[in-house]
Homo-oligomer: A and B are copies of this chain.
Amino acid sequence: MVDVPQLVEQARQGRPRAVARLISLVEGASPELREVMAALAPLTGNAYVVGLTGSPGVGKSTTTSALVTAYRKTGKRVGVLAVDPSSPFSGGALLGDRVRMSEHASDPGVYIRSMATRGHLGGLAWAAPQAIRVLDAAGCDVILVETVGVGQSEVEIAGQADTSVVMLAPGMGDGIQAAKAGILEIGDVYVVNKADRDGADATARELNHMLGLGESRAPGDWRPPIVKTVAARGEGVDEVVEALEKHRAWMEEHGVLAERRHSRASHEVETIAVTALRERIGDLRGDRRLDALAERIVSGETDPYRAADELVDGLTNGG
């Protein structure tokens, strides 16, 4: 038996083990998931969630680590969620104690958690917001969500952040890659890392051009800044924090933060509801009704659409 109220209280007090335990519970879709989520609800909504995306090799982990250092200097509690949708490993144990983050491992004001799964589609997009809620309830002021790789899942996960940072590095053809992956549109702040390398200015210019940042905007519109960093030496990282805080202030001023959180919550309910309905249909496998419908399709008596209509009608009328 898991004592959820006790775990939540311990997490609220900032005990790392309780936080880890709760994330495992929500990540694993444990029987306690619903109880945990219900208990966390009143404790959430305080953290500022920052997503970091970009191709492998741009230096996301190094930048995340440098951002943690920068935020810690201002006394903020920081949560890090490193998400790898392509990894076959699940859970924090395998990736949790990442060497790159080791400098923060003994800091009680920092939680670091890796999540990875290549389970069913949408599995991760579904688990990440729950883990964010745990970190939020545990009193994190800032949560950095770092995604590995560039792809649809990353775009989805980035969509769960208040502010999205899109990272590039010089000479990787990243602009094109990011554009292909649909990632260029999602940045609120752009970081050109490894700015001490040849081509950093060209990358920034290319990015500026691709984003149409030179064009005039309506007053009050957010103009995504491009910040150059050498994260490995901490250069430019304070400027990234500054850009993040500016974006946050802008969002609050224009009601965008509330809007984004509202739309995220709405999307999340939708995802969970679809999953629940899906499971309801899944339960019918081997069921007489679905079996009979399949038989009628095979024999040509009906078609899959009419059959699906019958099935849905059956389900939505108390099935």
Contact = CB atoms under 8 A, between A and B. Distances in A.
A282 interface: yes
A263 interface: yes
Interface residues of A, number: 59
Interface string A291-316: 10111011111111111110110011
A262 interface: yes
Contacts of A272: 304-305, 307-308
B304 A44 contact: no
A266 B281 contact: no
Contact of A290 (B261, B266, B302, B303): B266
A283 to B, nearest CB: 11
How many copies the complex holds: the figure is 2
A257 B41 CA distance: 51
Contact of A265 (B265, B278, B297): B297
Contacts of A265: 293-295, 297-298, 304, 307
A241 interface: no
A304 B261 contact: no
A40 interface: yes
Contact of A277 (B44, B263, B266, B312): B312
A43 B263 contact: no
Contact of A298 (B37, B42, B262, B282): B262
B290 A281 contact: no
Contacts of A318: 316-317
A278 B274 contact: yes
A38 interface: yes
Interface string A164-195: 00000000000000000000000000000000
Closest 8 CB pairs of A and B: A272-B308, A266-B294, A265-B297, A37-B303, A265-B294, A41-B303, A273-B308, A268-B304
Given A261-B298, A273-B281, 8 more contacts: A38-B305, A41-B300, A41-B303, A42-B301, A129-B304, A265-B293, A272-B307, A280-B316
8 contacts: A34-B305, A265-B297, A265-B304, A268-B297, A270-B281, A272-B305, A277-B278, A316-B316
